[in-house]
């Protein structure tokens, strides 16, 4: 029985001493996917060809998804999910002449967006809420729902098809839940990171990548996990307490726990005016639209009756060296999937790699 490591991401975060690889330049330039034939199996998602794109805002209700066969996988080893730390994901995929669409659904008992809010105390002061057990980058109480996928770029990550994302995860090394990086220079993975409170409200999945960079608390605190270029402000900007009160508030003036939001969209922030009562909560960060290479993946999300649903889209070929290119529709593409239930890094993952092929 294979032992599953409990490790990283802020992404997926999904390791094996491996040797041998081409140079980073050769690997990125080749961008050649696995040459294995497009044979479907229980771990293989077949993207169905459709004449027109599904309506993303219709979520699972668009008729295009009836043409696609689902693939399901058990996700284990995470946090929350009703105290079990596990769930089950079901995936579907369709594609048009130039774009891939995926439907992602998994059981999640809570819709979590309450990421580090400010809360007014009984004495009138304000306090930022955080997990009392968090020993650094490991909040499992006041966070957000997320999911992530990792796709080897150019089939460069040795062992991925056999072990999935576990080949990228490394325990300890200065963090409670480890770090993520590829074993050898030149190995690179495309990371699709949906953040329920920071990117999804503006319709984006954060387009990131993972390389061989090792963890250093000063020079590389995120180890190999990096963001694609294009957004100089970051996907969000936290703001502090000023004179004991939040620096900003949403222009609608609503408490986040009474009809408001636990984020503020860029442009909707106004100077804080304290008309709130004890127990009211407000956002502690402003979210920004993603741009450039980092904005390649769009998403529509919803939570209903204990099920999270996402529909995402991305061009088959983006031309970016930081992205997997679905340029060969006869090839098989390996990927991994992880879901986070209100957890910063403790994700529930598949034990093995999943694969995607393109139907005719």
Confidence band for 170, pLDDT divided at 50, 70 and 90 = confident
Least confident span in 97-111, 119-133, 171-185, 200-214: 171-185
Average pLDDT over every residue of 154-162: 95
* Residue 171, Cβ density class (10 Å: 0-12 exposed, 13-18 middle, ≥19 buried): middle
Fold designation for 1-110+145-227+298-360 = Immunoglobulin-like (2.60.40)
Cα-flanking dihedrals φ and ψ of residue 340, to 5°?
A: -120, 120
For residues 48 and 67, the answer to whether their CB atoms sit within 8 Å is yes
Q: Which pLDDT value is given to residue 41?
A: 67
Residue 2 confidence (pLDDT) above 50: no
Q: Which pLDDT value is given to residue 326?
A: 98
Domain borders along the chain are: 1-110+145-227+298-360, 113-139+236-287
Average pLDDT over every residue of 287-310: 97
Least confident span in 6-10, 81-85, 355-359: 6-10
Q: Are strands 118-120 and 44-49 parallel, antiparallel or unpaired?
A: unpaired
Least confident span in 173-187, 287-301, 334-348: 173-187
Give the pair of three-digit tokens for residue 176: 């409670």
Does this model's pTM top 0.85? My answer is yes
For residues 115 and 130, the answer to whether their CB atoms sit within 8 Å is no
């Amino acid at each position: 029985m294979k032992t599953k490591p409990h490790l990283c991401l802020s992404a997926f975060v999904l390791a094996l001493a491996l040797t041998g690889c081409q140079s980073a330049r050769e690997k990125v330039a080749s961008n050649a996917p696995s040459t294995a034939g497009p044979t479907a199996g229980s771990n293989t998602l077949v993207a169905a060809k459709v004449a027109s794109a599904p309506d993303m805002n219709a979520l699972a209700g668009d008729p295009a998804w009836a043409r696609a066969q689902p693939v399901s996988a058990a996700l284990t080893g995470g946090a929350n999910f009703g105290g079990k730390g596990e769930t089950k994901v079901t995936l579907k995929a369709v594609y048009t002449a130039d774009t891939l669409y995926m439907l992602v659904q998994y059981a999640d008992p809570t819709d979590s967006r309450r990421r580090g809010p400010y809360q007014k105390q009984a004495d009138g002061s304000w306090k930022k809420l955080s997990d009392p057990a968090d020993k650094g980058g490991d909040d499992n109480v006041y966070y957000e729902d997320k999911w992530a996928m990792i796709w080897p770029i150019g089939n460069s990550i040795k062992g991925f098809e056999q072990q999935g994302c576990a080949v990228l995860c490394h325990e300890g090394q200065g963090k409670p839940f480890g770090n993520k990086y590829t074993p050898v220079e030149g190995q690179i993975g495309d990371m699709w990171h949906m953040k329920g409170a920071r990117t999804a409200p503006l319709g984006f999945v954060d387009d990131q990548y993972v390389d061989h960079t090792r963890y250093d608390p000063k020079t590389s605190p995120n180890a190999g996990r990096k963001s694609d270029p294009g957004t100089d402000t970051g996907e969000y900007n936290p703001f502090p307490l000023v004179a004991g009160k939040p620096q900003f508030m949403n222009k609608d003036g609503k408490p986040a726990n009474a009809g408001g939001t636990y984020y503020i969209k860029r442009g909707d922030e106004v100077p804080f005016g304290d008309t709130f009562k004890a127990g009211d909560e407000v956002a502690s960060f402003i979210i920004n639209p993603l741009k450039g290479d980092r904005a390649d993946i769009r998403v529509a999300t919803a939570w209903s009756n204990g099920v999270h649903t996402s529909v995402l889209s991305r061009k088959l070929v983006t031309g970016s060296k930081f992205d997997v290119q679905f340029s060969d529709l006869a090839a098989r593409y390996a990927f991994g999937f992880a879901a986070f239930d209100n957890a910063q890094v403790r994700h529930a993952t598949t034990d093995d790699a999943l694969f995607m092929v393109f139907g005719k």
